[in-house]
Structure 1
Amino acid sequence: MELGALSKLVGQVATGPFGSLLHKSDYVENETPLVNPANIVDGRIIPDMRKTVNKSALERLSSYILKADDIVIGRRGEMGRCAVVEEEQAGWLCGTGNFFIRPHSDVVSRFVAHVLRSPSYVAKLEAASTGATMANLSNRVLGDLELALPSVNSSWSISK
């Protein structure tokens, strides 16, 4: 078992575009889906084809394009809302209310997402969040979250 910070054990934690990076004028229907916290339902990503982005917005925001096995997790509102990006969702855009975690090649994303959705980790995320009106999590807090993960060299394994 390995114990350490999420950013060390799992991978890079990045914040989705915020502020003036993504504009309402970038939204179109039926193009590239945007993954916001509302699109994460019961551990799955459900697109809203009324809130997608056009090609120029996608090119401008290319550093926020999701890859298969990335983990998206809401950074505001309901803590612990997360999902693994499936192969067919690769190329979608991380939305403003999410972080995405780009895992190391030896990390099983589904296991990490399961841990982050567990009641004990949701409680940790809630305790670490700030905001009087709506819970809000920082990149640093998520990256520093302590996790215990099975070692790659363990005698048992979890398939992807």
Structure 2
Amino acid sequence: MTGTRGGTEASDTGLHLPEGWRCAPLRDLCASLRAGPASRVQDKGHTQADGGVPVVLPRDLGGQRITTAEPGLVPAVPRERARALEQHLLAEGDILITRTGNVGRLALVTGEHSGWLFHANLVRMRLPGAGPAQAPYLAAYLSSGTAQDWVRARTAGSVIPSVSIRTLGELPVPLPPQAEQRAIGATLAALDEKIRAHTEIARTTVQYRAVLADALLTGVVTAQP
């Protein structure tokens, strides 16, 4: 259930905060902000199907979730190499965000991708166990127009857009009480799930239409008047 209410202006951020809310920089909400490890030439060519530790790529982030290809197409790092990268392993509740290219795309890590590694062009945000921000709420805020505009305004103007971890850490985040964070996170996550479902239906329908058109236009299938 939603509604409107009065509040106060956070003078240091320009955000209008309801009573009982506060604002904090992103870095203060995270136990760590870490970029993915640099790739090595000798690791190239390995895939998840080979039994290595799979790697999340920037292209895999969309709709606040990670969506990867079939195992034979997912890059991976040999397990002996991955043992030296333990600090870069993902855990459920982490948040990934792109820091180069299409800056600002993000995903909330679920159990499905726990134990995976992540690309060097991604930043992993890990929250403390009992911190002031909840992961679903923070992911929802980071995907909002306000946060996305803030990040884009601070993206370095070069051929390939990029934003530094230090700059990301300065992002002001409004923090409602914990119960309200849970409600906001759950509400927006439910909508995101509906969007993903409808997107998949649309994708499947487009594929079906293409197959049916070929069949109809070659006489393999006859259209019934």
Same fold (TM over 0.5): yes
The structure 1 residue matched to 2:164, chosen from 138, 147, 154, is: 138
Q: Is the 8 A contact 1:32 1:93 kept in 2?
A: yes
6-15 or 135-144: bigger deviation: 6-15
Q: Whole-Å Cα distance in 2 between the matches of residues 3 and 95 of structure 1?
A: 30
Q: Whole-Å Cα distance in 2 between the matches of residues 53 and 157 of structure 1?
A: 36
Q: Name the structure where helix makes up a greater proportion of residues.
A: 2
The structure 1 residue matched to 2:66, chosen from 45, 48, 54, is: 45
105-114 or 140-149: bigger deviation: 105-114
Partner of 2:27: 7
Q: Whole-Å Cα distance in 1 between the matches of residues 181 and 96 of structure 2?
A: 23
Q: Is the 8 A contact 2:137 2:181 kept in 1?
A: no
Shift of 1:147: 0.8
**1:105-130 CA deviation, whole Å, 9 max, x = no partner?**
24321211111111221111111111
Shift of 1:157: 4.9
Q: Which amino acid letter does the alignment assign opposite residue 138 of structure 2?
A: V
Unaligned runs of 5+ in 2: 1-20, 187-225
Partner of 1:32: 53
Q: Is the 8 A contact 2:134 2:181 kept in 1?
A: no
Q: Which amino acid letter does the alignment assign opposite residue 23 of structure 1?
A: R
Q: Whole-Å Cα distance in 2 between the matches of residues 39 and 81 of structure 1?
A: 10
Higher relative contact order at CA 8 Å, sep ≥6: structure 1 or structure 2?
A: 1
**1:45-65 CA deviation, whole Å, 9 max, x = no partner?**
122432122102211211111
Superposed, 1:14-93 pairs within 5 Å as 14-18=34-38, 22-27=39-44, 28-30=46-48, 31-48=52-69, 49=71, 50=73, 51-93=75-117
Q: Whole-Å Cα distance in 2 between the matches of residues 17 and 138 of structure 1?
A: 15
The structure having more radius of gyration, on CA atoms, is 2
Q: Whole-Å Cα distance in 1 between the matches of residues 36 and 90 of structure 2?
A: 10
Partner of 1:121: 147
Q: Whole-Å Cα distance in 2 between the matches of residues 116 and 74 of structure 1?
A: 12
Question: Does the C-alpha gap of structure 1 residues 44 and 130 become closer, same or farther in structure 2, counting only changes over 3 Å?
Answer: same
**Please, what is the CA RMSD of the aligned residues?**
1.8
Q: Is the 8 A contact 1:33 1:47 kept in 2?
A: no
Q: Name the structure where strand makes up a greater proportion of residues.
A: 1
- Taking only the aligned residue pairs, the percentage that are identical comes to 25
Q: Whole-Å Cα distance in 1 between the matches of residues 41 and 96 of structure 2?
A: 22
Partner of 2:125: 101
How many equivalent pairs are there? 155
Q: Whole-Å Cα distance in 1 between the matches of residues 181 and 63 of structure 2?
A: 24
Three-state SS of the structure 1 residue aligned to 2:182 is coil
Unaligned runs of 5+ in 1: none
Q: Is the 8 A contact 2:147 2:171 kept in 1?
A: no
**1:93-150 CA deviation, whole Å, 9 max, x = no partner?**
0211100000122432121111111122111111111141111010100111111011
Q: Is the 8 A contact 1:36 1:74 kept in 2?
A: no
Partner of 2:210: none
